[in-house]
């Protein structure tokens, strides 16, 4: 077997043991510093970034693209023209990982045709010890591996890969400092992502994210507020605040008491039409957050509130730290403050040991809430997580059957959730032509409902009034209300 040691100056693999540690350490804020010697190393060349996973990854890819453009690279959709291809990966479930391995196999011939092509892998999979070992042994055509904590050092890695022609592997197991002012190439001109915090300390027993994203670190409120103001000034109409658990925002501040509720309240003052956030953990959704959301204004009437299961024993085994009863109470509190609020969720079926009765508790909870929509998943064991050591005794057939039954219920509720907008006039932020018809425009309401309606392309990027004429399971259909 080939010796894995490396001659390049960067060769740093991740360790699961280090990723688990939550040492007390001061988190500093540093500014992104462009390295002068590297300016122009991508002049005349092209890059292609492919993103998997959640909004956090989408937003990280905007920084990767921004950094590569600062180095002189131009974007291309055609991978054959690319001089550097980066896969920003997701580790949340096994099938997410398999897709990336498949893609790496598919991309291999490009390396044969263009030996100078740099093929890079980053994101959550790179933070996994076993994945990096596999890439090193079986995917020798991958030139560059870096993690979620050191994206800001990409210029050095590209430079090193170009001059050394050796594999560059640099993954930090522990999180670093918060890096402000990274260049960004935002994918959308009216809807923007804004990180408010990084990492996760929840350690839900099934989840890999606390190991791939490190401990919780909040950005300073002034940095978040300034970024939202800048986006508003640049014409952005909607901002999504990002964090694995936004409710934990500010808990790590040593020098002040400032929570997510305070942040929402401050952002509520900014002149931008829409603000939403993802994701909120039901455990610490507090009264201030509910009261602030009830002020509405730019705060959208939409909450994504992952429940995962409706059974208390399973919730406990998942380490979710709330009960079915407290979750349902939170839903009632939200609805009494904002009666029309749209609520969506995430649910896992087939968690280790889940019995049919326990699954039926999830069904009855979903029925009681009447979700506007849900992302539903079959449990996937993740190496290194506590749940992976529990007996995974639900058969594949049962898991699929539960998912099928749950989806049928969720879809019926989504339809009911959409019906309540029938004949109403809603505000739609128009994104562009619909998938199937250029004469039909698509956009989202303040309740995060997809609306299709006939209109001219001139309305793209605007917020317009639309009267709903037909409510379907996946979208609403309407007609433009002219003033
Ligand atoms: N931080 C967010 C979710 C991140 S992952 C939150 O806590 O809500 C998105 C969703 O993926 C989770 O809500 C969960 O439903 C699902 N998920 C996470 N790990 C999983 C696993 N091992 N198997 C199946 N689904 C999983
Ligand atoms: Fe994973 Fe739980 Fe953290 Fe969400 S809150 S990222 S599900 S550990
Ligand atoms: Fe996937 Fe990482 Fe997001 S594991 S869901 S890309 S935080």
pLDDT digits (tens, 9 = 90+) for 189-221: 999 999 999 999 999 999 999 999 999 999 999
pLDDT in the model for residue 36: 76
Q: Tell me if residue 88 falls in helix, strand or coil.
A: strand
Top pLDDT among 23 and 343 is at: 343
Mutation pick for ligand 1 pocket among 306, 347, 386 (CB with most ligand atoms within 8 Å): 306
DSSP strands (E only) in 160-296 = 168-170, 178-180, 191-195, 197-198, 217-218, 238-242, 274-278
Residue nearest to atom 1 of ligand 2 (CA): 207
pLDDT tens-place string over residues 385-443? 999 999 988 999 999 999 999 999 999 999 999 999 999 999 999 999 998 899 999 99
pLDDT tens-place string over residues 10-26? 678 888 888 888 876 77
Q: Does the pLDDT value for residue 7 go beyond 80?
A: no
Are the C-beta atoms of residues 41 and 162 closer than 8 Å to each other? yes
Q: Partners of 191 in the beta sheet?
A: 238
Q: Which atom of ligand 2 is nearest to the CA of 319?
A: 2
Neighbours of 239 (CB within 10 A): 24
- Say how many Å lie between the CA of residue 202 and the centre of ligand 2: 6
What is the Cα–Cα distance from 48 to 59, expressed in whole angstroms? Answer: 15
Are the C-beta atoms of residues 447 and 302 closer than 8 Å to each other? yes
Q: Which atom of ligand 3 is nearest to the CA of 55?
A: 3
Read off the pTM.
0.95
Q: Which atom of ligand 2 is nearest to the CA of 213?
A: 6
- Say how many Å lie between the CA of residue 241 and the centre of ligand 2: 16
- Say how many Å lie between the CA of residue 92 and the centre of ligand 1: 7
CA 219 to each of CA 178, 224, 241, 398: distance values in angstroms, whole numbers, following the listed order: 7, 7, 11, 43
Q: Is 56 in the pocket of ligand 3 (CB under 6 A)?
A: yes
Q: Which helix (DSSP H) or strand (DSSP E) does residue 340 occupy?
A: none
User: β-strand 450-454 against 440-444: which pairing, if any?
Assistant: antiparallel
Instruction: Identify which ligand lies nearest to the alpha carbon of 216.
Output: 2
Contacts of residue 414, defined as CB under 8 A and 6 or more positions apart, other chains included, come to 371, 372, 373, 473, 474
Instruction: Identify which ligand lies nearest to the alpha carbon of 352.
Output: 1
Residue nearest to atom 4 of ligand 2 (CA): 244
Are the C-beta atoms of residues 266 and 292 closer than 8 Å to each other? no
Are the C-beta atoms of residues 228 and 270 closer than 8 Å to each other? yes
What is the Cα–Cα distance from 84 to 162, expressed in whole angstroms? Answer: 10
Neighbours of 479 (CB within 10 A): 13
Mutation pick for ligand 3 pocket among 49, 124, 278 (CB with most ligand atoms within 8 Å): 124
Residue nearest to atom 10 of ligand 1 (CA): 346
pLDDT in the model for residue 8: 56
């Amino acid at each position: 077997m080939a010796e894995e040691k490396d001659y390049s100056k960067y060769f740093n693999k991740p360790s699961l043991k280090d990723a688990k540690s939550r040492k007390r350490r001061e988190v500093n804020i540093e500014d992104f510093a462009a390295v002068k010697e590297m300016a122009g190393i991508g002049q005349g060349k092209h890059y292609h970034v492919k993103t998997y996973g959640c909004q956090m990854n989408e937003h990280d890819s905007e920084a990767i693209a921004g950094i590569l453009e600062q180095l002189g690279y131009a974007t291309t959709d055609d991978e054959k023209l690319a001089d550097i291809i980066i896969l920003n990966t997701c580790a949340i479930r096994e099938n997410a990982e398999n897709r990336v391995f498949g893609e790496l196999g598919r991309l291999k011939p490009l390396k044969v045709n263009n030996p100078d092509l740099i093929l890079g892998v980053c994101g959550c999979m790179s933070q996994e010890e076993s994945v990096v070992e596999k890439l090193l042994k079986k995917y020798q055509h991958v030139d560059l591996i870096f993690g979620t904590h050191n994206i800001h050092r990409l210029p050095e890695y590209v430079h090193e890969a170009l001059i050394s022609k050796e594999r560059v592997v640099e993954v930090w197991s522990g999180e670093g400092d918060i890096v402000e002012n990274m260049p960004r190439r935002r994918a959308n001109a009216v809807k923007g992502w804004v990180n408010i915090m990084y990492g996760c300390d929840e350690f839900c027993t099934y989840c890999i994210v606390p190991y791939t994203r490190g401990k919780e670190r909040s950005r300073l409120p002034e940095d978040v507020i300034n970024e939202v103001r800048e986006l508003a000034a640049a014409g952005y109409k909607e901002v999504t605040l990002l964090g694995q658990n936004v409710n934990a925002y500010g808990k790590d501040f040593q020098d002040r008491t400032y929570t997510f509720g305070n942040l929402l309240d401050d952002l509520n003052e900014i002149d931008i039409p829409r603000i939403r956030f993802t994701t909120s953990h039901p455990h610490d959704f507090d009264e201030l957050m509910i009261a602030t959301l009830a002020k509405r204004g730019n705060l959208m009437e939409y909450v994504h509130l992952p429940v995962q299961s409706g059974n208390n024993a399973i919730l406990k085994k998942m380490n979710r730290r709330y009960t079915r009863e407290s979750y349902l109470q939170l839903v009632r509190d939200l609805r009494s403050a904002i009666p029309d609020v749209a609520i969506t969720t995430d649910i896992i079926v087939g968690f280790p040991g889940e019995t049919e009765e326990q699954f039926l508790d999830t069904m009855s909870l979903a029925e009681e809430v009447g979700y506007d929509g849900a992302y539903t998943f079959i449990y996937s064991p993740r190496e290194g997580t506590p749940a992976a050591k529990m007996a995974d005794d639900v058969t594949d057939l049962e898991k699929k059957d539960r998912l099928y039954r749950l989806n049928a219920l969720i879809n019926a509720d989504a339809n009911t959730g959409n019906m309540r907008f029938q004949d109403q006039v809603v505000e739609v932020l128009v994104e562009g032509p619909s998938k199937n018809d250029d004469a039909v425009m698509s956009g989202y309401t303040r309740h995060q409902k997809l609306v299709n309606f006939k209109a001219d392309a001139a309305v793209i990027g605007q917020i317009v009034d639309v009267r709903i004429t037909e409510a379907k399971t996946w979208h609403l259909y309407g007609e433009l209300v002219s003033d």
